[in-house]
Structure 1
Amino acid sequence: MLHPVGPLPASVYWRRRVLVLTLLVSVLGGGGWVGYAVATGRFDDGTTTVAATSSAPPATPALERVVPSLAGVQLPTGAASTTANPPSTAAAGPCTDDMITVEVRAPAGVAVGTQATFVLLVSNVATVPCIRSFDEQLQELVLRDLAGNRIWGSHDCRADTSDVRRTLAPAEVVSFSVEWSGLTSEPTCTAPRMPPPPGAYLLQGRLGTENSAVAQISIA
């Protein structure tokens, strides 16, 4: 084998032998590496890595491209989605006599035969609003002497009537002014009217069945 025999030059046969030997060594080396890789698990790791890196993400279903996922939808919180209902206002009831006060105001002194302005005040002393009738026929001021004799009344010689209902808020005050002519009067308006004599007189007002305290007036 070391001395090739043939019609060709010896160098040709040597090159052929070197080429065959190289191929043989390559085949043997490659087979050994594959066996070593299989034995140590490197071959499987490499295959898995390649498969993992080369695998493409799963395609998005057609329906999810149209309808968004619920995870991406922001729902309003309970505080934001709750609409506060305005508090309901109960209808005001009637003003009973114990829910109001009636007061009269007048000048402390009036000259004989002169006009004076009397004022009737109605106040809501309750803690809730209420409705009261303020009809003309329910409002009255009466002037008496100290013996209790009737001297004048705001309803005398008048036939006015009205139908007025008003809602009073808590602590609200409503006032009505009445001009007194300075003369006496009586309900039938048939007796002569004249100035009352000088002296002390008592003025009282009312609204329906609720009476005011008495205010004293001096006529001089």
Structure 2
Amino acid sequence: MPARDRGVPRRRGQWPPTSVLSVLHPVGPLPAAVYWRRRLLVLVLLLAVLGGAGWLGVSLLGGSDGDAAAAEATATTTTAQPPALDRVVPSLASVRTPTPPPTEAPEPAEPSAPEQEAGAPCGDDVVALEVRTPGSVPAGSQPVLELVVTNTSDVPCTRVLDEELQEIVLLDAAGTRLWGSNDCFPEQSDDTRTLAPGEQVVFPLTWGGLTSEPTCSAERVPVGPGQYVLRARLDTKTSPDAALEVT
């Protein structure tokens, strides 16, 4: 037997090296049961910590998956099921509102003519101007034309009827001016009259049947057969066209 087994006493605190046998069979100053209880307590605590950590991880993973599934189910239910109000009240798109009948736009009112003041100058709006013709005349003849001025207002008014303010012109079908009463024989007068309501003043004028232009310098020739119009003027007032046929 070696020398260390010959009853040589060991010093306190000196123990043989740790081995598997020493762990399984603890040796110390205390009874072996004490060491076993300590090891068992440490093992239980270690298992409890590991078990608690595992349970917590599983709970967290399971809770996240459950919340996601619940949220997805809620969203699916919300999408699939219409709101309670839509199930009770019909959609506005399905409700037909009656179309109002079209309303006719009111016709614009005709502008009223300014009221003529009695004794004041006759405005163009109350003066009617007209050219009277024979209707049809032979070519080369000298027909008599008439310029007619009428007061259409309900009160008497004054109007300057000077001869230099009066004119009758002849136009062909294309609107070309062929003759004017003031081209070659202009006349002047001082003629201001008070026209009673509805009164007419007639000024006769003889046309020589020839062409003319404002300077009366061009050669004057007879107007050939055809359809023509006559138009009168009294200062700033003009008349409607009157037809004249030359045969």
Q: Give the match for residue 150 of structure 1.
A: 177
The amino acid that maps onto 2:239 is S
Decide whether the 8 Å contact of 2:118 with 2:155 is kept in 1. no
For each residue in 1:3-44, what CA deviation from the matched residue of structure 2 results, as whole angstroms up to 9, or x when unmatched?
xxxxxxxxxxxxxxxxxxxxxxxxxxxxxxxxxxxxxxxxxx
Which runs of 5 or more residues in structure 2 are unaligned? 1-116
1:198 aligns with 2:229: no
* 1:33-182 mapped onto 2 (5 Å cutoff): 92-182=119-209
Larger relative contact order, structure 1 or 2 (CA cutoff 8 Å, min sep 6): 1
**Mean Cα displacement is larger for which, 155-164 or 98-107?**
155-164
Select the structure that is richer in strand.
Answer: 1
Check 1:148–1:93 CA distance in 2 against 1; reply closer, same or farther (3 A cut). same
Counterpart CA distance in 1 for 2:238 and 2:134 is: 19
Decide whether the 8 Å contact of 2:145 with 2:207 is kept in 1. yes
For each residue in 1:183-215, what CA deviation from the matched residue of structure 2 results, as whole angstroms up to 9, or x when unmatched?
111111111111111100010111111111101
Counterpart CA distance in 2 for 1:126 and 1:210 is: 16
Q: TM-score, normalised by structure 2?
A: 0.52
User: 1:99 deviation in Å?
Assistant: 1.1
Check 1:159–1:217 CA distance in 2 against 1; reply closer, same or farther (3 A cut). closer
Aligned-CA RMSD value: 1.2
Q: TM-score, normalised by structure 1?
A: 0.58
Q: Give the match for residue 85 of structure 2.
A: none
User: 1:147 deviation in Å?
Assistant: 0.6
Q: Give the match for residue 212 of structure 2.
A: 185
Which runs of 5 or more residues in structure 1 are unaligned? 1-89
Runs of 4+ in 1 over 2 A off after TM superposition: none
- The 3-state SS of whatever aligns with 2:228 is strand
Structure 1 or 2, whichever has the larger Rg, is: 2
